[in-house]
A = this chain, B = another copy of it.
Amino acid sequence: MVKDLSHLLSEESKGRKPSPLKSAFKYYGKEDIVFLGGGLPLADYFPWEKIVAYSPEPPFEDGIGAQPSVTGKSTISEVHKHKVEEFDIPLARSLQYGHTQGNPELIDFLKEHTKMIHNVPYEEWDLCLTIGNTQSWEACIRSFCNPGDSIFIEEYTFPSAVETARNLGVNFVPMKMDAFGIIPSALAELLENWDKSKPLPKLLYTICTGQNPTGSSLGYERRKELYDLACKYDFVIIEDEPYYFLQMTEYQSGKEEEIKTPSHEEFLKSLVKSFISMDTEGRVLRLDSFSKVLAPGTRVGWIVGQAALLERFVRLHEVSIQAPSGFSQTIVQALLGRWGQSGYVDWLIAMRKEYSIKRDFTIKCLEKYMPKEVVSWTPPIAGMFFTILLDASKHPDFATKYDSDPLKVEDAVYEQGLKDGCLMIPGSWFVAPNRKNTSGTTFFYRGTYAAVPLDTLGVGLERFAKAVKSEFGL
């Protein structure tokens, strides 16, 4: 049963009221009322009559990177100021004020998509557009946290997510992780031994699939254990899931060439169960985004969660962002409407294939170039990131030149990498505030296979391996 979680809201969020003008807007558009109430410019004055966008056409057999000019097939989205296609958002509406939650056509598409993927197990869920997951997360912080409140975060996490909250007087409580993400038993222990004089954290923030920076992914069992802890200790889980659809099959050494295109059914079945899909109490907020699957510059994300909580987000948006760009909503929905749910799944499958190829190539390069005496890795099963783990104690000058400080070795290899012509980010840059160091002499680097083509990726990894070898005297 869905719980009332309003006691967890921040003072800022609790007190937000709808605009007093709202009571008048119920008369807007009524035939027998001349509405002189709102400062809305006439759509006649919007200087865009028509927009035509050219996109690839499902089922993307030539890959998602293939240009329509090469394949000869395009999805052409022609949208007008006034409505033509049933599923389109006409420019006269998307470019006007209103629809803080999002235009109904796009909301409907995303709700149908959400049902298909997550099958949220309660009735009273809703969906609200945002400007992407960074803004969604900011809205979560502002909606739940008063200064002095605590939140759980992964012990290595996205620094911007920390920076969003850090300066608002929020107290970070890091959660221990291993190669497969948060360790539920360690969190359970932390909660059992919680100092009862201090309030429990209100939120658990996790990038649970293809985690940034570790590349780890939480499996179903761990998610279930964490969800049970959320219910027991009354906190909200924020699942920040930009990489959810970049899930791949497990890496199998030597089988890189055999990437198959699954059926829709196989694909949907292969996806890890999300927190929201097991959320019987309505205590999960799922942050989704087009940034990694269509393009970051759409600046369109969305939150899925219980309606009573999302209403608080809409109130916040009314007095801040108002709504995502109308151009973005119209153009994205024009494409999704033409592709349909099925074409969109085709796209997601084709995208997964691209990332699988890149992941496999990356691991093959690591196997080929890296000195296994000092470097190890766990092939990621999702996302854009991989990490390589190094052991500083294997460095011949560890105790002397580097004062037995692994971070000094980490820095030296980073600098040597730059000299040799490849940049990977030192793991220590992602350390969560208040984390107790339990890594001993190991340290890691985060790399990505997302941002460069395969050949460049190979060159980079060979260079970084060279830097490691020369630093470690191998």
Task: Say yes or no: A36-B328 contact (C-beta < 8 A), given A132-B322, A321-B321.
Answer: no
In residues 271-316 of chain A, which contact B (Cβ within 8 Å)? 291-292, 294-300
A166 surroundings in chain B (CB, below 8 A): 15
Contact of A418 among B21, B27, B67, B384 (CB under 8 A): B27
In the complex, what distance in Å separates the CA atom of A32 from the CA atom of B418? Answer: 9
In the complex, what distance in Å separates the CA atom of A452 from the CA atom of B42? Answer: 7
Task: Say yes or no: A39-B451 contact (C-beta < 8 A), given A46-B294, A54-B51, A297-B326.
Answer: yes
How many copies altogether?
A: 2
Cβ of B15 and Cβ of A167 under 8 Å apart? Answer: yes
Cβ of A138 and Cβ of B47 under 8 Å apart? Answer: no
Q: Tell me, rounded to whole Å, the shortest Cβ–Cβ distance linking A187 to chain B.
A: 26
Contact of A422 among B34, B347, B422, B423 (CB under 8 A): B34
In the complex, what distance in Å separates the CA atom of A41 from the CA atom of B242? Answer: 12
Contact of A34 among B11, B425, B457 (CB under 8 A): B457
Q: Is A404 an interface residue (CB 8 A)?
A: no
Q: Is A371 an interface residue (CB 8 A)?
A: no
- Name which of A17, A27, A91, A135 has the most chain B CB atoms within 10 A of its CB: A135
Q: Is A134 an interface residue (CB 8 A)?
A: yes
Cβ of B321 and Cβ of A131 under 8 Å apart? Answer: yes
Q: Tell me, rounded to whole Å, the shortest Cβ–Cβ distance linking A56 to chain B.
A: 6
Closest 5 interchain pairs by CB? A297-B326, A34-B460, A325-B325, A95-B297, A95-B295
Q: Can you list 24 pairs linking A and B with CB atoms under 8 Å apart?
A: A16-B167, A21-B159, A24-B425, A33-B418, A34-B457, A37-B424, A41-B295, A41-B450, A42-B452, A46-B294, A47-B55, A49-B55, A51-B53, A51-B54, A94-B297, A97-B291, A131-B322, A160-B319, A297-B325, A298-B327, A299-B322, A299-B323, A299-B325, A325-B325
